[in-house]
A and B are shown apart, each in its own frame.
Chain A
Amino acid sequence: MKTNDIIFQTVTKIVVFIIIIYSLHLFFSGHYTPGGGFIGGLMTASALVLLLLAFDIKTVVNTLQVDYLKLTATGLLIAVLTGIGSFFFNVPFLTHTFSYVQLPLLGKTSLATAVLFDLGVYLVVIGVTMTIIQTIGETE
């Protein structure tokens, strides 16, 4: 018998966006409130896992053509490069800096280089989680 999970798939299509937006909110709020790269990355990965549950692996892989191993490596590279950046300013490794910038729409915002490091963490967490889940899912 062919199962029909139209309700699940329709709800997923809406909910996935809410989860991803919430995960981005968590990611950006990490500096002042609970949140950050790790939990944000896990939340994004959980949205992708929900897609994997509602649709099969082939559909998801065809829609989001991301090589998650490369994504992990990119994340690591970003994190290390934020550290190496300090070489050029003659300060110790991983020294971070911040400044307040007047942005359109957002107003006065503090931009810290620690966010770039966190972006690396975020990508690594997504990459590792999805690699684990997809590899186990594809193994016969």
Chain B
Amino acid sequence: MNNLIILPIVIPFLMGILLIFFNKHITVQKWLSAVASFLSVIASIVIVQTVHTNGIQTLEIGNWAPPYGIVLVADMYASLLVLTTSIIGFTSLLFAFSSVTSDREKFYFYPGVQFLLLGVTGAFLTGDIFNLFVFFEVMLMSSYLLIVLGSSKNQLRESIKYILVNVISSALFVIAVAYLYAVTGTLNMADLSVRIADMGQSGLLTVIAILFLVIFGLKGAIFPLYFWLPASYQAPPAVVTALFGALLTKVGVYSITRVYSVIFYHEPSFTHQILAWLSALTIVFGVIGAIAYWDIKKIVIYNIITAVGVILFGIAANTPNSVEGSIYYLVHDMIVKGALFFLVGAIIAITGTSNLRKFSGLIASHPFLGWMFLIATLALAGIPPLSGFIGKLKIIQGGFEAGEYTIAFVVLLSSLLVLYSVMKIFIHGFWGEPNKIPVNKEATKGLILPIVILLVLSIAYGFGVESLSPYISQAADTLLDPSIYIQAVLKE
């Protein structure tokens, strides 16, 4: 039965509700949420395998055939992202168990995380553009809770900015959906694609396509709409930043990809060219931020923006190689950003500061943490045996094939600066004279395991590219040829 593909949505939803009843019993909450996210991981593995063997899976909610009802579509692209999301969710919970204070835990931290995962997986799986909006809101509402929970002065200030920006972009989203509905008369993505192909992508539809780029760009932090991100992501505790950095911006990236590959693909010389240049500028501004700061959290946050640019350039170049590369890079980036934010959280737990000038020589007291950080930095920059290499290689190859030489060189050069920015943390924080400030030896208790899980995955991802490639190329096929998606949904 096809109810299988709703499991990654229903499991966190049900568990989020149950956790509300147990808000005073922290141990029960921990066990329940860990079990739930482990079940989600298993369910998503099963989905990936099912999609791999049987093709795209759809679920017509309430037994109403599309385009009349809501349909959930699990193609390979969405299922891979759902799997990565549930892995990030599971490891974040492990990290939260020993890093989140009990007053936060009593105030619905774990239900908040479950509802966030519900929103993110829902956004990946839905095949209906208004339903996408609803899942965006589910995700954003829970992120409002997580960003403000604890109510330190900094969090309160940043959450106001964050909510303001997101309320405006949500209002724009509704307006864009209204325009699109007025022009086409449907909300189902596959049906939208058919109708736009029939009537041709007129100027009006191209305007709507750009409007969607603005909206999803605001959520996914592309240039010049990333202004809200660095300060907002710095405010909450490290585990929340890890969830946000690994998941939230990627939902924006996913939506741009989906909308530009399934619905608005008829005017690539205009829409995709704009996307390409915006992603180039995103990369440039991301690396400028990453090398400018001496705050370890800020450095990693600016690296999110760079990665968003790289992934979107792969989509904009729109050749088989670049699209495959951007899928490789998207999955890699979610894993490695999660690991990096956990590492930063562990370093802050040890030193009590995020200012890189205030500590050094951590390798003497925490050698394992140091070497794990080195592996994460090398993976982030895309050094060959590790996970970031294949994605960037294919994106650059695709960029050259598409004739976008300038931007492809920007991507290449950005790797160097990304490597510099995170190596700076390694060299100044881990090398040098130890014990500038008193180091808390016990602080990393329980924080190491989730980092190890993610790094092992990242290494395995890098070495196992050969066995992964059928999955990735299946995902890329759907993005390159929308008729596969349309046939699976509308069954024509």
Contact = CB atoms under 8 A, between A and B. Distances in A.
Interface centre among B13, B14, B60, B62 (most CB of A within 10 A): B62
Chain B contact residues: helix, strand, loop or mixed: helix
A94 B63 CA distance: 8
Contact of A93 (B10, B17, B20): B10
Given A80-B10, A92-B62, A70 B21 contact: yes
Contacts of B18: 73, 77
B10 A83 contact: yes
A72 B61 contact: no
A116 B462 CA distance: 49
B1 A90 contact: yes
A72 B10 CA distance: 17
Contact of B62 (A70, A84, A90, A96): A96
Nearest to A95: B63
Nearest to B62: A94
Interface in B240-273: none
Given A83-B10, A86-B3, A87-B3, A92 B60 contact: yes
A76 B61 contact: no
Contact of B20 (A73, A84, A92, A95): A73
A105 interface: no
A20 interface: no
A80 B61 contact: no
B296 interface: no
Contacts, number: 42
A80 B63 contact: no
A50 interface: no
Contacts of A87: 1, 3
Given A73-B20, A86-B3, A93 B13 contact: no
Contacts of B3: 86-87, 92-93
Contacts of B1: 87, 90
A71 to B, nearest CB: 10
Nearest to B1: A90
Contacts of A92: 2-3, 59-63
B422 interface: no
B10 A84 contact: yes
Interface string B1-25: 1110010001001100110110000
A96 B2 CA distance: 17
A136 B286 CA distance: 41
Contacts of B6: 93
A60 interface: no
Given A70-B21, A72-B20, A93 B62 contact: yes
Given A70-B21, A73-B20, A90-B1, A95 B62 contact: yes
Closest 4 CB pairs of A and B: A73-B20, A95-B63, A94-B62, A76-B17
9 contacts: A73-B18, A73-B21, A80-B10, A87-B1, A90-B1, A92-B2, A92-B3, A93-B6, A94-B61
